[in-house]
Amino acid sequence: MPRFMVPESRVSELNDEHWMRHALGLAQRAWEQGEVPVGAVLVQGERVIGEGWNRPIGQHDPTAHAEMMALRQGGKVLENYRLLDTTLYVTLEPCVMCAGAMIHSRITRLVFGARDEKTGAAGSLLDVMRHPGMNHQVTIEHGVLASECAAMLSDFFRMRREQKRALRLASKTN
C-alpha cells in the first residue's frame, strides 16, 4: 500500500507510538538518576515544547513529576500558561496533582502508557479529568506501548529490591 493510503487513524496511532517511545527515553534518564522511571513529552503539532522525567528525590521537590516538568517547560516555550492544542505523552497514568495541572493548563489530549492502579487519577483510582463538573475536558487515550512502559517500572523496582537484599546480606556477613 502506498504511503498516502495509510488510513488517518493508523497515522495517529504510529505518531502516538513515536512520541511514547520518546517519553520512554526520558524515563530512562530518571532511572539513571535513581528516580522511579517515568517520562513525559509535550507536543504541539510536530514540535516538542516540553520534556520531563521524574526527579523529586534529586530536586528535593515533591512536585517534580515528569508531567509537571514537561508542562512547566511548555509554558515557558509558548510564553503562555494555557497550553492549547497540545498533547502530553506520559509513560504512566498521572497522579491527582499532575491530572489537576493538566486541567489548569488546558492541554487538548493526554496519552499515557501503563495504568497506575494505586494512584492513577485518569480512571484507575480516581477519574479527575473526566469528572462531569470539570470546566475543561481533556481527551484521554491509554495503552500506547503499555507493556513496555509497565516493564520499565517493574524492572526498576525488581532491581531496587535486589539491591536492598544484597545490602542486607552484606551487612549480615560483615
In the complex, the residues that contact Zn ion under the rule CB under 5 A are 65, 95, 97-98
User: Does residue 98 have a known ligand-binding role?
Assistant: yes
Q: How far apart are CA 36 and CA 156, in angstroms?
A: 7
Closer by beta carbon to Zn ion, 65 or else 142: 65
Output the smallest distance, CB 174 to Zn ion, in A. 39
Q: Which is nearer to Zn ion, 15 or 72 (CB)?
A: 72
Q: Would you call 147 exposed, middle or buried from its count of C-beta atoms within 10 A (0-12, 13-18, 19+)? A: exposed
State which residue, 18 or 131, has the beta carbon closest to Zn ion. 131
Closest CA to 88 of 43, 135, 39: 43
Residue 95 is labelled as binding a ligand: yes
Smallest gap from residue 92 Cβ to Zn ion (A): 9
* Cα(79)–Cα(94) distance, integer angstroms: 24
114: how many CB neighbours lie within 10 A of its CB? Answer: 24
Whether 67 sits among the annotated catalytic residues: the reply is yes
User: From the candidates 67, 79, 93, 117, which is the catalytic residue?
Assistant: 67
Q: Is 149 annotated as a binding residue?
A: no
Contacts of 109 (CB under 8 A, 6+ apart): 86, 87, 88, 138, 139, 140, 141
Q: How far is the CB of 144 from Zn ion (least distance, A)?
A: 18
- Binding site listing: 65, 95, 98
- Binding site listing for Zn(2+): 65, 95, 98
Residue positions annotated with a catalytic role: 67
